[in-house]
Structures are given as C-alpha cells and as structure tokens.
Amino acid sequence: MNSIDINNLQNSFHHAVNLSISPGAVSTSPTQSFMNTLPARITSAKLSKALKPFSTGDIRILLLENVNATAIEIFEDQGYQVEFHKSSLPEEELIKKIKDVHAIGIRSKTKLTEKILKHAENLSVIGCFCIGTNQVDLDYAANMGVAVFNSPFSNSRSVAELVIGEIISLARQIGDRSIELHTGTWNKVSSKCWEIRGKTLGIIGYGHIGSQLSVLAESMGLHVLYYDIVTIMGLGTAKQVSTLNELLNNSDFVSLHVPETPETKNLISGPQFAAMKDGSYLINASRGTIVDIPSLIAASKAGKIAGAALDVYPNEPAKNGSGAFSNQLNSWTSDLVSMRNFILTPHIGGSTEEAQSAIGIEVAAYLTKYINEGNSVGAVNFPEVSLRSLDYDQENIVRVLYIHKNVPGVLKTVNNVLSDHNIEKQFSDSNGEIAYLMADISNVNQSDIKDIYDRLNETSHKISIRLLY
C-alpha cells in the first residue's frame, strides 16, 4: 500500500519486516513448542497484503543516543533513510534536524519539549528506546498527532539482575574493599558484612522490574515485601503491605521501582529514612528524583543506613567523559562520592547487550507498524487502535488514518466523506482530548484518493491525516 500525506501522493510496495530475536532470548516455551508441531493448515494465516505508506526513500528517521543496531537494521530493511548519532544533540541542532524527519528515536538524555516539537513539520511518531517517557512532552505530542512508543518490558531482567548484584555487594561492602585494594590497602574484615539469606527485601513498585526482582530475590533466600498503590498478586511467597512505612519498618534492603511523577518526587526523604530499620540499605535504579539525596547523605552520616546503591540522579551528564559528574550538575555530588559503602553507577540498569538489542527490536517494530499500518497499540499518549491486515489479493482498498479532536459529530462528518465507498472495517477510540479513527474502504480508484484526502483535510476538527493504499 502507499500513502498520501499533507504534502504529496506517493506510491510503493514492500516486503514485510522480518524481526530477529536477541542472542540472549529464552528458548521457546512448551506452549510455543507445541504450537510449532500443529499442522500448517491450522497455524498458517492467509498471506497478508503488505502496507507501505510512502516511497521508502522519502521516509527519514533520526536516531540519537546510540540506539541499538537492531533498530537501524529493521528501519534500513524497510528502505527508510536513517540518520544515526551516538550521542544526544544540542537543542539548536536538534531543532534543525527534527524539522524534516518523520520519526525520531531517543533514549533518556534527549528532551523533546514543546519548544523542540513545534518545529517538527513532518513528524508522526516518536520512539523512546527505554522504559521512561518523561523526557517527552506527551500531551503536546498527542495534540500534534504524534504517537509515542517505549519499551516497558525489554530491560526488566537487566535491571533486576543489577539490583541483586548491588544487594550482595552492599551486604559484603565489596565496593569499599575493591577501592581499597586498587589503592594498595589490604583490609580483610568481616564486621558488619552479612549473608543475604534470611534477610528481607522491600520492593517499592511491583511492576515489570519489581516483580522480576522479587522472583530472583526469593530464589536466593530473601523474604520479599512489596508496596504498590494498586493491589497486585505477589509472585511466590512475596507479601504486599498496605503502607510505605510498614515496608520501611521491616526491610533490610529497600529497592525503588517507580515512575517519575509529581507524586513520587522525593518519595524517600527524611521521614522515610527515619522509618527505615537501623543498618538497612537503599537501592534506587528507577528515577533520580525519587530519593532526596541530601537526606540520604545525612542518614548515612548519622549511621541510620549502612549503605546505598544509586544508578540514577536528578541531573545527569549529557555525554560520557571525565569530570562530567560534578557539583555543577548536582550541588551535593562531592559529598555523595565521599560516602562509605555507596555504590554509584552511571544509569546502566538497562545497559546490557541483551536488553539493548531487545529494546531496539521492540521499539523499532512499534514504529514500523505505526508508520506502515497505522497500528497504535502500545502507544503511551495516544488511543490504541488497530485493524486486521488486508488479504494479499484485495485490490482498490484505502486505509484511512484520521487523528482528530475528541468532540461530538466528527465520525458522522468523516463517514459522510467516505460514504461513496464501501467501509470494509472501521475502528475508533479516544484518549482524553485526542481520538483516532482507522477505516478500510474499498472500490477506490486512484482518481478518488486525492479527493478523499482533500475533503478530510477540510474537516474542522482534524489533527492529522494519512491514507495508505
């Protein structure tokens, strides 16, 4: 299929994207293995008609912050033009670059603010190749008709494993002993060094990462408590507690796995450190604003906590380099780096080869399906809408992708425009002030396409239109 957008009509055809799995992926499950033994007539669907919304050479994708090569390969296999940068870009350069691209892929350092997004004339989709999306102005993007996708699952295991390593390292003071030996000091001690077996881990936020951490911790002999704002069934013997203070009062290790929101800013501050067990440990691999770090430093100096591991910080360097982590970013940095039994890592929770490969595949697949088919399932700021694929032998079909303000009467107006053709299937959904309609219409000649587009473009509440054919 081809597409018509605000600027032009273009034609093309393509082969469907072929996605590989990461080298570290788990082998097929028993269910998958069983499915593979079924006769082909049961497991094989009809050959689907490939959708491609434009001449592939006309699609420009900007990838920043060393997005994994798996994503680049997927986009290039589609024929898109890919511009790749290993780091983030200065704001003024990003404003110039974003003007002409149809999609942009970022990680956590690039901030897509209203100031930047308002210069994006052709942008239709943003990919956050990470868990968080707080670096994007989601509401402004939605009101532009720009869908935003992220990767909520792919690095969960990597973060959970890092936390397990930090729990053991803190309990054994491994960080301090390593620094000492690197400087020539032999300090073999056992005082206040512990096994983790039989201790209690308190997990704040029992989502994808928190629940994986729970399973790993129990397998190593830890008891698990967790606190979440919603009721969630625990895995294994993990027990949900009703208040944050109950978790803090009873945990030897406290690990944070919550999003960055106004409600979670300084979630762990002076009163919470006071509620923690004497000699307990704090681990934060979620977001840098969750912990009040001056209060953490004070709690450590007072002997309230025995150690901490931080992977995230309120302000982080834009790029790697010596001297990048300094008081110029955060006024308390020099105090933090002087603390005993503090493990400080540079936001590497999801930085494994397996996680980055899986994230590249997951987000690139989301973006490709949105660009090629209009499928918005998985979008974080947008109605989630999808239609089944067209059969390969279907001809003279146009897929209408119509993003509009969520007000009464719009669907009636759109369907009046489409009424000269048979509506094969249609689906619409809304998310706040934004609504998204997908419709496949048949018996459409090439001469009809521009007329349909022009008439839809004249409707008063439209935000964005694409036609795939």
SS3 145: coil
Number of Cβ within 10 Å of residue 58's Cβ equals 18
Considering 102, 157, 223, 287, which one is annotated as catalytic?
287
CA 376/CA 125 separation, integer angstroms: 10
CA 413/CA 428 separation, integer angstroms: 14
Backbone angles phi, psi at 162, to 5 degrees: -60, -45
Concatenated DSSP letters of 242-303: SSHHHHHHH-SEEEE-----TTTTTSBSHHHHHHSPTTEEEEE-S-TTSB-HHHHHHHHHTT
| Catalytic residue check, 223 | no
| Catalytic residue check, 60 | no
CA 50/CA 468 separation, integer angstroms: 11
Closest CA to 464 of 370, 388, 368: 370
Concatenated DSSP letters of 349-377: TT-SHHHHHHHHHHHHHHHHHHHHH---T
CA 401/CA 464 separation, integer angstroms: 8
Considering 316, 354, 384, 424, which one is annotated as catalytic?
316
CA 469/CA 11 separation, integer angstroms: 8
Tokens 């620094």, residue located: 179
Backbone angles phi, psi at 83, to 5 degrees: -110, 125
Considering 223, 347, 404, 421, which one is annotated as catalytic?
347
Contact 385, 377 (CB under 8 A): yes
**Which class for 70: exposed (0-12), middle (13-18), buried (19 or more C-beta within 10 A)?**
buried
| Catalytic residue check, 347 | yes
Closest CA to 267 of 236, 301, 291, 286: 291
Concatenated DSSP letters of 77-100: HTT-EEEE-SS---HHHHHHHHTT
Q: What angle do CA 65, 67, 69 make, to 5 degrees?
A: 145
Q: Which residues are catalytic?
A: 287, 316, 347
